[in-house]
Copies of this chain bind each other. A is one copy, B any other.
Amino acid sequence: MKTIEKYLINSGIKPSYQRIRILSYLMDKKNHPTVEMIHKELLHDIPTLSKTTVYNTLKQFVEKGITQIINIEDHKTRYDADISTHGHFKCLNCNKIYDFRFDNKSLEISDIEDFDFLQTHLYIKGICKKCKYLLNNKN
């Protein structure tokens, strides 16, 4: 049995063909896709794949804790199978989303000392290195 099937079973999810393919897509591409992107891409291989299945599957992945939601865009949800604590940078020029690491421990927070933290989401927007270079040299 493939690793990914074991991973699904260990997470309490029956490894149906669609679920395996959707999780594989997330893990291989690491591109923080929208539902639209996943559906469009997998439709090439699974012509009957319904968008509802993609929604249901991702919802289940999030509930079981093997996928996290990224709300860096204004109106559409993106998904990430990397559930480790890390940040997301969105380039406002090329719209690419980059992963980055940050030290959660060093984060100095005031005002909410006695609160229980369950999830930390850090989103930074700006201009990525590539675009910075391109923009500087296009005169």
Contacts and interface: CB of A to CB of B under 8 A. Distances in A.
Interface residues of A, number: 41
A102 B4 CA distance: 38
Q: Do most interface residues of chain A lie in helix, strand or loop, or is the interface mixed?
A: strand
Given A71-B71, A72-B71, A100-B109, A121 B123 contact: yes
B127 A112 contact: no
Contact of A125 (B114, B118, B122, B129): B118
Nearest to A102: B109
B74 A77 contact: yes
Contacts of A132: 114-116
B111 A99 contact: yes
B101 A115 contact: no
Interface string A97-133: 0111111001111111011111111111111110010
Interface of A: 69, 71-75, 77, 87, 89, 91-92, 98-103, 106-112, 114-129, 132
What 8 A-B pairs are tightest by C-beta distance, nearest first? Answer: A103-B108, A118-B126, A100-B111, A121-B123, A116-B127, A101-B110, A119-B125, A71-B71
Given A120-B122, A121-B123, 13 more contacts: A71-B74, A98-B115, A99-B111, A100-B109, A102-B108, A102-B109, A103-B108, A114-B129, A116-B126, A118-B127, A119-B126, A120-B124, A121-B124
